[in-house]
Amino acid sequence: MVGGERFDGGPRSAIVVGAGIVGLSTAWFLQERGVDVIVVDRAGVGTGASWGNAGWIAPALTMPLNSPKVLRYALRSLRDRSAPLHIPVTADSALWLFLMQFAANCRPSTWNRAVRANVPLNQECIEAFDVLLGNGVDTPVTETPITALFRSTRDAENMMRDLRALETAGQPLFVTGLSGEALRDQVPLASKVITAAININGQRYVDPGRFVTALGEAVVKRGSTMLTRDVRGVISSGNAATVLLDNDESLTADAAVIATGAWLSRLTDRRLRVPVGSGRGYSFTVPVDRPIPGPIYLPDVRVACTPYRGELRVAGTMEFRDPYEPVMAERVGAIVASASPLLDGVRWAERRDIWVGPRPITPDGLPLIGEMSRNVYVAGGHGMWGLAHGPVTGRLLTEQITTGKQPEALRPFDPLRRAVA
């Protein structure tokens, strides 16, 4: 057995369902507490939203989605198929119910509550990454500002208001304004229409696929079994938890964790009142004429760009569709159409490695982290910030599982709360 000393009365074994950043982080920290872990995933390590995202570890940008501003934007976008936020006209009743719950949560009070709830995760998220990096997860992490670009100073001021709301809630921030030659030096790809920029300092980025792969390898090296199987259900069974597999097989352990991202609601059997929707994001890689020193954020079109193996990974859009649906080419085209006027020296026509992944979205902007039923826990619904908050989620949930005490930081994320407060 690899890991630290086991707590008296704590679980000796656990099954983690889901091999994305959240599930693997939970498995790693459980191992650190001396728990034997089996990880089960239907398709293997990092095949969901963990793989092709922008790779940002950006606590200063973890703004909840359920803001009045987003709701107004969504209503304006309903008839625009090229808008960054897309809801298909064929949406089923479950999606419309989710969207109505989301709209009911787009109030300043609920948005501010989500902002305040995120602060403890933000404060510890980089430290949690450092624990993994210092103990066998072998992958590079780059510390750098994330530079937000704007057509006008007015647009920059609008974003600064959102950042100040985070600061008021307790999130430390260090931002600097850029213009003129300093802007061009920082972002050589900025087009002539860009007149202002903000450096959000002290952030990080990784190659997310490489990081999740390294984390999975570390979990296996520390003694975990990794199974590629479909899971039909997870149930409490006396003093244990049972995971029901395909072909009528099952696994039993002292505890089980459901960390299946956008598929989380499919395994909770309506035991949770907060649904998890699928907000699909797209990314692709393009060559550039001039390298950039760090990530670029285009807030007006909701596009994130990250240096990636000498090229540029471009990520964006929020598309509410079933996780299993294929890539929609028009969504990729919409990203190109919206971002290309803002960046020069990007060879958009040579894009490749087109990817779509389902972000797990909750209607109130808060993830679900904690005990769902006896010995069965859930961890998911982080929206666009699963990569940043995955390791700290795993560490805090492990504390709850092994000690039986809910950390104060997890109280706002109680999975048994109501969808609309």
Token pair for 272: 């949770």
Whole-number Cα distances in Å, 192 to 151, 282, 312, 323: 9, 26, 19, 38
pTM assigned to the model: 0.94
155 CB-near residues (< 8 Å, 6+ apart): 196, 299, 300
Determine the Cα angle at 62 with ends 210 and 89, to 5°.
90
96 is a domain residue: no
Q: Which of 135, 130, 29 is nearest to 401 (CA)?
A: 29
- Please give the residue range of the domain that contains residue 324: 64-91+142-203+276-361
334 is a domain residue: yes
Whole-number Cα distances in Å, 55 to 65, 135, 140, 143, 249: 18, 20, 12, 12, 36
257 is a domain residue: no
Phi, psi (rounded to 5 degrees) for 337: -60, -35
Token pair for 278: 């699928």
Q: Is residue 210 exposed (0-12), middle (13-18) or buried (19+ Cβ within 10 Å)? A: middle
The secondary structure of residue 87, as a DSSP letter, is -
Q: Is residue 168 exposed (0-12), middle (13-18) or buried (19+ Cβ within 10 Å)? A: exposed
150 CB-near residues (< 8 Å, 6+ apart): 156, 159, 194, 195, 196, 197, 198, 299, 300
Per-residue pLDDT of the chain (421 residues), as tens digits, is: 333 444 457 899 999 999 999 999 999 999 999 999 999 999 999 888 899 999 999 999 999 999 988 888 777 766 676 777 777 766 688 888 998 999 999 999 999 999 999 999 999 999 999 999 999 999 999 999 999 999 999 999 999 998 998 899 998 899 999 999 999 999 999 999 999 999 999 999 999 999 999 999 999 999 999 999 999 999 998 899 999 999 899 999 999 999 999 999 999 978 899 999 999 999 999 999 998 889 999 999 999 999 999 999 999 999 988 888 899 999 999 999 999 999 999 999 999 999 999 999 999 999 999 999 999 999 999 999 999 999 999 999 999 999 999 999 999 999 999 999 7
185 is a domain residue: yes
Structural contact between residues 157 and 198, judged by C-beta atoms closer than 8 angstroms: no
Number of domains in the chain: 1
Length of the chain counted residue by residue:
421
Q: Which of 82, 69, 86 is nearest to 338 (CA)?
A: 82
219 is a domain residue: no
411 is a domain residue: no
Full 3-state SS string of 117-170: HHHHHHHHHHHHHHHHHCCCCCCCCEEEEEEEEECCHHHHHHHHHHHHHHHHCC
- In three-state secondary structure terms, 267 is helix
CA distance 39 to 17: 6
Q: Is residue 321 exposed (0-12), middle (13-18) or buried (19+ Cβ within 10 Å)? A: buried
194 is a domain residue: yes
Query: For position 198, which CATH number holds?
Result: 3.30.9.10
355 is a domain residue: yes
